[in-house]
A and B are shown apart, each in its own frame.
Chain A
Amino acid sequence: MNSLTTPDAIQIIAALLFCIGVFGVLSRRNLLIILMSVELMLNGANLSLVGFAREFAHLPGKSESAQVMVLMAMAVAAAEVAVGLSILIALFRHVRSVSVDHPQATTLRD
């Protein structure tokens, strides 16, 4: 077995992916990058799930439900990206910027 596909390695990679996503969300100003980072977080979680599904493949019922959940998350993520990007475009047309620190963007809190 390749050392990269041991259960531990898969979980570590998934955690790294998730943390990179978190870092991206926290550090970047560009909304587009932030959305991409969110995707990274989602995929980190998905990877973790399929990793566990593989690890517990011998337990009937468990692994299938994990895989179904991942497929479900992918579908929801696709829909969410569609909505998120269109909101982003609408925002860009409104303030001519995609920076979260743009003075007009911060007024959105009201």
Chain B
Amino acid sequence: MFPKETALLPAIILVPLLGALFNGLFGKRLGKGVVSTVAVATPLIAFFFAAAVFFGLHAADHGPLFSDTSVLVLKAKEGSTTSNLARRLEKAERSLAKRDDLFAAPVVEGKRVLRLVGPAGLADDVRLQTVAQRHSLEIAKAADAAPRSYRYNLGTWISVGNFKVDFEFVVDRLSIILMLVITGVGFLIHLYSTSYMGHEKVGTYARYFTYLNLFIASMLVLVMGGNLLLLFIGWEGVGMCSYLLIGFEYEDPAKAACGTKAFVVNRIGDMGVVLGMFCLLVALSQGGPDIPLSLDFQHLNMALGGKAQAGLVGLGCLLLFFGCTGKSAQIPLHLWLPDAMAGPTPVSALIHAATMVTAGIYLIARMSPIFAGAEVIGVPVLGIVALVGALTAFFAGAAAIGQDDIKKVLAYSTVSQLGYMFLGVGALAMGAAVFHLVTHAFFKAVLFLGAGAVIHATHTQSMRRMGGLKNYMPTTYWTMAVGALALAGFPLLSGFFSKDMILFSALMRAKAEGAHWIWYGLYFLGLGTGFLTAVYSTRLIGMTFWGDYRGGGPGGRHPHAAPSAMASPLFVLGLLSIFAGLLGLPALAAWMKGGAELLPHYVAPVVAQASSALNGYPAPDSHIFHSYEKAGLLIGSMAALCGVAVGWKFWGSKPPSKITWESQVTGSLAGVRQVLANAWYYDEWINKRFVQPAVKYLSGLLWEHVDDNAIDRGLVDGTGRVAVQLSLFTRVFQTGRVARYAAYFVVGAVVILACVHLYSISH
């Protein structure tokens, strides 16, 4: 009864890992053809495996019910003799044991009940027996309602006292969605890269695909890891791949420095994750000596979640969120993502837009039962998450308007959209946040890949030297236009639905919190961001594709259309950007007559729910809920349309030529533009306030104390001094007189014997 899907779990990770290993070791010798075949095939295979697991999960959810087993247990107890009963209980337990692969919660609970029922039944205590029976049936029914998942345990990793960490992969509804996005979008981007990197030398080419495959494997470890520590391996793995790929062209010191910056900023966040992990462990250990100290998500969520928690748990959650701000580029650690654009463009699409940067959202959604109740000095942690998310969304969205580098626009846009997701997560709308994560992965990937095609064609990243590309590369134009409209939240495209769902949940949260002004403020910040998003999306398309071509110059070549290996992923992702919104459209589910579940609802059972955590939350089918929903949709589309209109007015109707560009913005607007182009001067501020003093202090410390005193005087001179002193002392004993040597020998023997004797009598 061991489902074959379970065996696929390690294979899903192993396939890209082996691909990386193969390309890393032999790629250089085997040539580009072999390298690209292996590199493109591995994420595709992983995608098919993940799809098989997805359908397996779906079948398991609609397969035999847990209560069947429970009924078996109950039947075993009815009017049976004691020996008979024991035998049947054993049989029932065996049938339960076969279900170990499914999500443990119901099974573990069922086994507990069996243990409870077993002795009670044997004790012939009728009253206790009835209580236990009722209890077991209730749990069985609850277990039937819970969605299934797969577990695959590769063995124990760490076991110290009652602290235990397993090398265990878990796939449930949340992780399978991310796995499909990672492998699916990953495959398309690998395919695109074969053409984008095609002009590189074969060694560089192999290195690139090695890193990219390694990234896919690490990201899969991140989302499939069953405990916090295993997730952290993936977390660090993707950070390393990100570093390697940002500084991919390491001969250029500026690009290598960008990689270092991303790495260092991420390490600061990772410190938060580690400290948060410690806090949660200590909080667990305070529950008593019998509680197993496991970092398993399910264990953590069950032990610490579901109730209001201040103190260590709150602090731990806040620290974990600090880690998320590092990985997912939120204030205060968002400054690395725009610099990450130094990497090749497909990397920006895959790692710095679609997958890695969403790890923070995944982490909070994964641990949402704990986050939902966590508080720090009276402030709910999720409130902080929402506030940070909304502020980041707004400020980064504004900064995106001021950028002239096409990739920087998309980078700030990504920071802004991630802020949206954190707003959704903070408003306890995990499903909506994951929905936006998926749609964002599609439309941001198409935008980045399109930008890559544009850069490939024009050999510049500055939008001032583009323009008029509509006629040269129509495929890229249309797919990017769809992506930009989806990003802008243009009605009926994917971004519209997901963004609206997040804003709506913020509004609902405001309502539930007794119309707290902060939540209304967050809602309006989100709405404003929607407007800004539409403005910069239109600006991006306008400056790149409309008007006349401003690049080239005398004798310059005309830009060429994207080759087919680059165009086909654009097509697929463009289509997904249009239709992915249907995944969350209520009308679709009604049409499918319950056969399919909406993406946000699909995820809902495995994450914390707003309605269960809050009182005063409007019921999903109440009148007030629907009127708010309609109003929200209307206001959201208004904001998007206004933004598109403003963008059209400034950059669409009459695109600036190269000469008039600088004079276009004058007066007070020029100052605003300056601030936005420099992204609110945050980088400069951090540099002046934190980096430079730290560098100054640390270099002084290292030079004066570590290098001069410790290394030069202590280690180098010290070694010599110690040797001289030691030999001055020992030379006294080397006299050449045999009798004296013999005396030393005897004294030594006596001392050793005395020690042995003293030791033996003391023990």
Binding site for B on A (CB under 8 A): 22, 25-29, 34, 100-101, 105-110
Contacts and interface: CB of A to CB of B under 8 A. Distances in A.
Contact of B743 (A26, A34, A105, A109): A26
Interface residues of B, number: 9
Contact of A106 (B736, B743, B746): B736
A22 to B, nearest CB: 6
Contacts of B737: 100-101, 106
User: 3 closest pairs, A vs B, by CB?
Assistant: A109-B736, A106-B736, A100-B738
Interface in B728-759: 734-739, 742-743, 746
Nearest to A109: B736
B739 A100 contact: yes
A21 to B, nearest CB: 10
A22 B739 contact: no
Contacts of A28: 739
Main DSSP-derived SS at the A contact region = helix
B746 A26 contact: yes
A34 B742 CA distance: 10
Contacts of A25: 739, 742, 746
A27 B737 CA distance: 12
Interface string B70-103: 0000000000000000000000000000000000
Contact of A29 (B739, B743, B746): B739
Contacts of A110: 736
Interface in B18-51: none
Contacts of B739: 25-29, 34, 100-101
A22 B736 contact: no
A33 to B, nearest CB: 11
Contacts of A105: 738
Main DSSP-derived SS at the B contact region = helix
Contacts, number: 28
Interface string B106-133: 0000000000000000000000000000
B736 to A, nearest CB: 3
Contacts of B736: 106-110
18 contacts: A25-B742, A26-B742, A26-B743, A26-B746, A29-B739, A34-B738, A100-B737, A100-B738, A100-B739, A101-B737, A101-B739, A106-B735, A106-B737, A108-B736, A109-B734, A109-B735, A109-B736, A110-B736
Given A25-B739, A109-B736, A110-B736, 5 more contacts: A27-B739, A34-B739, A100-B737, A106-B736, A106-B737
Contacts of B743: 26
A106 B737 CA distance: 6
Nearest to A22: B746
A38 to B, nearest CB: 9
Nearest to A108: B736
Residue of A108, A109, A110 most packed against chain B (CB within 10 A): A109
Nearest to B750: A22
Contacts of A34: 738-739
Nearest to A41: B746
A28 B738 CA distance: 11
Interface string B306-342: 0000000000000000000000000000000000000
A110 B734 CA distance: 10
B205 to A, nearest CB: 67
Contacts of B734: 109
A27 to B, nearest CB: 8
A107 B746 CA distance: 23
A89 B583 CA distance: 104
B743 to A, nearest CB: 5
Nearest to A107: B736
Contacts of A22: 746
B734 to A, nearest CB: 7
A107 B737 CA distance: 9
Nearest to A100: B738
A100 B738 CA distance: 7
B536 to A, nearest CB: 87
A109 B731 CA distance: 12
Contacts of A29: 739
A105 B743 CA distance: 18
Nearest to B749: A22
Contacts of A27: 739
Contacts of A106: 735-737
A60 B63 CA distance: 71
A12 B131 CA distance: 80
A25 B739 CA distance: 7
B706 to A, nearest CB: 44
A79 to B, nearest CB: 21
A5 to B, nearest CB: 26
A27 B743 CA distance: 9
Nearest to A29: B739
Nearest to B742: A25
A101 B736 CA distance: 9
A10 B703 CA distance: 71
A103 B76 CA distance: 101
A104 to B, nearest CB: 11
Contacts of A108: 736
A25 B745 CA distance: 11
Nearest to B741: A109
A109 B742 CA distance: 14
Nearest to B743: A26
A107 B735 CA distance: 10
A103 to B, nearest CB: 10
Contacts of B738: 34, 100, 105
Residue of A25, A28, A107, A108 most packed against chain B (CB within 10 A): A25
A106 B738 CA distance: 8
A26 B738 CA distance: 9
